[in-house]
Structure 1
């Protein structure tokens, strides 16, 4: 992970830990806890989407380069 990613992860975990407000009731969820869960969910979703996009871009570039080489070889054979 990058430095920004680690900072983001640390802050989201800190928000979840510090959000514990009511220790007497095991069924109650505080608003801070809920916000921390939503924040962490959004963060993980963004990481998954960006990683998938990055790998797909790399694969697409590799395929385009392979097609380009093939077309050049084919054009040279016709002459």
Structure 2
């Protein structure tokens, strides 16, 4: 969480950097809150993707583990053949 706050702080300072380096008024300026919203949305989207991937992988793993279980009546059927 501290690294996210540091990243937002660095982005706020970088937004003002082009204005300090150039005298040109034709530079496109992005507001700091816009960058903060973009970074926050990216973090939320990344967390959603990770959660969905984990959920699907664990469901698939559970399905494979259940398929490998041997039940009593299955073993009895295998012995008779």
Range class of TM-score, shorter chain = 0.5 to 0.7
Please, what is the CA RMSD of the aligned residues?
2.9
The alpha-carbon distance between structure 1 residues 38 and 64, as it changes in their structure 2 partners (threshold 3 A), is same
Structure 2 residue 40 is the aligned partner of structure 1 residue 37? yes
Equivalence for 1:5: none
The alpha-carbon distance between structure 1 residues 59 and 17, as it changes in their structure 2 partners (threshold 3 A), is farther
| Unmatched segments (≥5 aa) in structure 2 | 17-30
The structure 1 segments of at least 4 consecutive aligned residues displaced by more than 4 Å after TM superposition are none
Shift of 1:73: 1.0
Conserved 8 A contact 1:19-1:32: yes
| C-alpha distance in 1 between matches for 2:9 and 2:53 | 26
Match of 1:53 among 50, 53, 56: 56
Between structure 1 and structure 2, the one with the greater Rg is 2
Normalized against structure 1, the TM-score is what?
0.56
Shift of 1:75: 1.4
